[in-house]
Chains A and B, each alone.
Chain A
Amino acid sequence: MILDLERFQTQARPRWSSLESLLAALEGRPDHRLNPVEAEQLQELYAQAAADLNRVTHGALAPELRQYLERLVARAYAELHFVPPTRSELWQPRRWLRIFTVFPETFRRQSRYFALAVLITVLGCALGGLAVRYDPASVDVLLPANYLRNPGQRVHEEEQGKNQDLHSTQSEAAFSAQLIRHNIEVAMLAAALGVTFGIGTALLLFENGVLLGAVAVRYTQQGFGLFMTAWLLPHGVFEIPSILIAGQAGFYLARVLLRRREDRDVRQSMREWLVLIAGTAMMLVWAGMMEAFFSQHHEPVLPYGFKVAVGGAELALLTVYLLLIGRRKTDAEAHARVLSENK
């Protein structure tokens, strides 16, 4: 019980102000690192301030003083218990480059959610394709844009070079930036919609699938299958998998949400989600550039066979990247872990 609040404050004020100045110095550092002397000092001042807070809470009518001490103790508590990332973790470029190996590793670790995303997209494709094949009336609903509905006209215009004025390198650059931005936004939405327990993600993937299936069947039906393959493949081999991976991240997020209570380390789980999004964004940058600078050129400028071959080569590289990069290292680590556990 504090009987003389004023005396108590006069005595304690110097230690509160030294705690305040120590905290201000620590909070100014981006990595919040303490040296041993500071750590000892902080520990001592924190303990004293906490004891003062307890006395004020239980023994005196001093709401303001209590509030002040609470803030002070909260700040000191945060600095004392926070395990800061090491400086090397933050500023080593090599660590940032590790994203290129961590991404395929994470992709493989969470591959079942990728399978789910593929399944839903394939279902959408099948529905879209079947609708266009057996119900011509649905074309107007499913394919609102004219160039999707009437492939003949589009192919004719493209091959005549009527849209050639749109194909200056500069407009292609602007176009690629818009594509990259739009695609990354859609991908991020797919990943964030996981918070609706995956329902939003599933709907988005399904809609995407329906459109894809409808376009594919419409173009093939009218005999422009090769044009379409050459048009979509060079960027599609990156764009479609990246949206699927974004869907994978969405389903993974739904899983994290459902398992929140059992999950011992939500922070680590969310890191995997971030890695998947970062990988998706990298893929979409490539896809956007290919779509603007390469896919929009048609015969006679670029032979369709060549475009399909480029698309095929990209797909092969992407598959190798996603399935093999980083694997040997993780295998070696797992092996080492088993060995050390057996010792």
Chain B
Amino acid sequence: MTDSQPIRWATTAELTIATPEGVLFRLPLAGPASRLYAMLLDIAIVLGTVNGVGLLVYRIFAKAPGYGVMVITLAEFAIGFAYGALLEGFWNGQTIGKRLFHLRVIDQSGLPLRIEQAWVRNLMRVFDALPFAYLVGGLSALSNPLMQRFGDRMAGTLVVRQTPLVAPGEESWTRQKYNSFMDYPTIAMKLRRAATPELASLVQDALRRRNELASYARREIYRELATYLQCEISPFPDELVEMLSDEQYLINTAGVLFGDQRLSRVHR
């Protein structure tokens, strides 16, 4: 890996990595808000633990409270730094807060982070937390395309979003037996060529969330989408469109964009 470092470049919200094998993939970066929530949760956990341990220690040292104070003061300090460093170092780049908010710290080349990197980024918190409420770290993250605070810059790490994804399953529009758009292969091909991935996922999302939408909202959204597609992308003949509801129009569109067995046969 020393002589074939992966090439990486970042846009505002993601890091793109091109591996030596010629594979290109993107990692979504974590925004400041979710990192802040995760950090607040971690702080709460540390404080809770320290106070819990504190009660126990005071009970043990009931006759010698001075030693109790000593143990607590040092334990609080050590746990405060070691919590982040050890958990991130040994638990796949995640603290409890990060795991709950689906965040993960990784090396900026896309590899898991090492224990020394975890220590560096956590010790640098004393600087990032200046002058109050992580102002320095927050400004650093906002001004950096990789959203790194100073600790991340020095450790060569970054925080990515890692929401669990499942492989897309079978969709309803692939089950329909007959798609009237397929009778017009030229227009259907035009639709496939002209549709951008964003537009395609918009149609997909609109159909998938059918039952989550209130009926008036669904009507409105479907009408707008269908009108846009019909007027701007692929004008199917009026006699066909008049017979279709907006929803059926979108289902047919999705069938052309994602299903397309028949289209390929016609095209062949």
B216 on the A face (CB < 8 A): no
Contacts known (A63-B200, A174-B73); A4 close to B264, Cβ less than 8 A? yes
B64 on the A face (CB < 8 A): yes
Indicate if the CB atoms of B66 and A3 lie closer than 8 Å. no
Contacts known (A61-B195, A61-B257, A82-B112); A173 close to B69, Cβ less than 8 A? yes
Known: A27-B92, A177-B72, A191-B123. 4 other contacts (CB 8 A): A74-B17, A77-B17, A174-B66, A270-B120
Indicate if the CB atoms of B260 and A3 lie closer than 8 Å. yes
Contacts known (A61-B257, A68-B167, A70-B25); A30 close to B201, Cβ less than 8 A? no
Cα–Cα distance between A176 and B92 once the two chains are bound (Å): 36
Cα–Cα distance between A273 and B91 once the two chains are bound (Å): 23
Inside 8 A of B258's CB, which chain A residues have their CB?
5-6, 61-62
A17 on the B face (CB < 8 A): yes
B33 on the A face (CB < 8 A): no
Inside 8 A of A6's CB, which chain B residues have their CB?
170, 174, 258-259, 261
Which A56-81 residues sit within 8 Å CB-CB of chain B?
A: 57, 61-68, 70-71, 73-74, 77-79, 81
Contacts known (A17-B167, A68-B167); A178 close to B73, Cβ less than 8 A? yes
A132 on the B face (CB < 8 A): no
A274 on the B face (CB < 8 A): yes
Q: How many residues of B contact A (CB 8 A)?
A: 63
B234 on the A face (CB < 8 A): no
Indicate if the CB atoms of A274 and B123 lie closer than 8 Å. yes
Contacts known (A70-B26, A181-B73, A184-B77); A168 close to B167, Cβ less than 8 A? no
A32 on the B face (CB < 8 A): yes
Contacts known (A16-B167, A17-B167); A173 close to B70, Cβ less than 8 A? yes
Q: Which residue of the partner chain, among A47, A68, A195, A277, contacts B127 with CB atoms under 8 Å?
A: A195
The residue of chain A having its C-beta at the shortest distance from the C-beta of B64 within the complex is A170
Give the number of residue pairs across the A-B interface with Cβ within 8 Å.
160
Indicate if the CB atoms of A3 and B264 lie closer than 8 Å. yes
Inside 8 A of B17's CB, which chain A residues have their CB?
74, 77
Binding site for B on A (CB under 8 A): 3-7, 9, 13, 16-17, 27, 30, 32, 47, 50, 53-54, 57, 61-68, 70-71, 73-74, 77-79, 81-83, 85, 90, 168-174, 176-178, 180-181, 184-185, 188-189, 191-193, 195, 253, 256-257, 266-267, 270-271, 273-274, 277
Indicate if the CB atoms of B24 and A270 lie closer than 8 Å. no
Contacts known (A170-B65, A174-B66, A181-B73); A266 close to B106, Cβ less than 8 A? no
Write the B21-43 contact mask toward A (1 if CB under 8 angstroms, else 0).
10111110000000000000000
Indicate if the CB atoms of A63 and B201 lie closer than 8 Å. yes
The residue of chain B having its C-beta at the shortest distance from the C-beta of A169 within the complex is B66
Cα–Cα distance between A50 and B260 once the two chains are bound (Å): 24
B217 on the A face (CB < 8 A): no
Indicate if the CB atoms of A57 and B70 lie closer than 8 Å. no
Inside 8 A of B25's CB, which chain A residues have their CB?
53, 70, 73-74, 77
Inside 8 A of B153's CB, which chain A residues have their CB?
195
B116 on the A face (CB < 8 A): yes
Indicate if the CB atoms of B264 and A195 lie closer than 8 Å. no
Indicate if the CB atoms of A267 and B156 lie closer than 8 Å. yes
Inside 8 A of A170's CB, which chain B residues have their CB?
64-67
Contacts known (A54-B23, A57-B24, A85-B114); A181 close to B66, Cβ less than 8 A? no
Contacts known (A63-B201, A192-B126); A4 close to B260, Cβ less than 8 A? yes
Cα–Cα distance between A291 and B23 once the two chains are bound (Å): 59
B1 on the A face (CB < 8 A): yes
Cα–Cα distance between A247 and B263 once the two chains are bound (Å): 70
Indicate if the CB atoms of A188 and B259 lie closer than 8 Å. no
The residue of chain A having its C-beta at the shortest distance from the C-beta of B27 within the complex is A74
Inside 8 A of A57's CB, which chain B residues have their CB?
24
B90 on the A face (CB < 8 A): yes
Cα–Cα distance between A27 and B106 once the two chains are bound (Å): 13
CB distance from B84 to the nearest CB of A (A): 14
Most interface-central of A79, A81, A85, A171 (chain B CB within 10 A): A81
Q: Name 20 A/B residue pairs within 8 A (Cβ), A-sorted.
A: A5-B259, A62-B258, A68-B167, A70-B25, A71-B165, A74-B17, A74-B25, A77-B19, A78-B111, A81-B1, A82-B111, A170-B64, A173-B67, A174-B67, A184-B77, A256-B154, A267-B114, A271-B116, A273-B120, A274-B120
Which B38-96 residues sit within 8 Å CB-CB of chain A?
A: 64-67, 69-74, 77, 90-92
CB distance from B95 to the nearest CB of A (A): 15
Indicate if the CB atoms of B1 and A30 lie closer than 8 Å. no
Q: Which residue of the partner chain, among A9, A64, A267, contacts B204 with CB atoms under 8 Å?
A: A64
Indicate if the CB atoms of B127 and A9 lie closer than 8 Å. no
CB distance from B225 to the nearest CB of A (A): 15
CB distance from A238 to the nearest CB of B (A): 17
Indicate if the CB atoms of A68 and B69 lie closer than 8 Å. no
The residue of chain A having its C-beta at the shortest distance from the C-beta of B109 within the complex is A81
CB distance from B252 to the nearest CB of A (A): 15
Which B99-133 residues sit within 8 Å CB-CB of chain A?
A: 106, 110-112, 114-117, 119-120, 123-124, 126-127
For the complex of A and B, 9 pairs with smallest distance between CB atoms? A170-B66, A192-B127, A174-B69, A177-B73, A177-B70, A61-B200, A3-B264, A173-B70, A50-B23
CB distance from B194 to the nearest CB of A (A): 11
Contacts known (A195-B150, A195-B154); A68 close to B168, Cβ less than 8 A? yes
Cα–Cα distance between A207 and B99 once the two chains are bound (Å): 42
Q: Which residue of the partner chain, among B1, B116, B162, contacts A267 with CB atoms under 8 Å?
A: B116
Cα–Cα distance between A57 and B22 once the two chains are bound (Å): 13
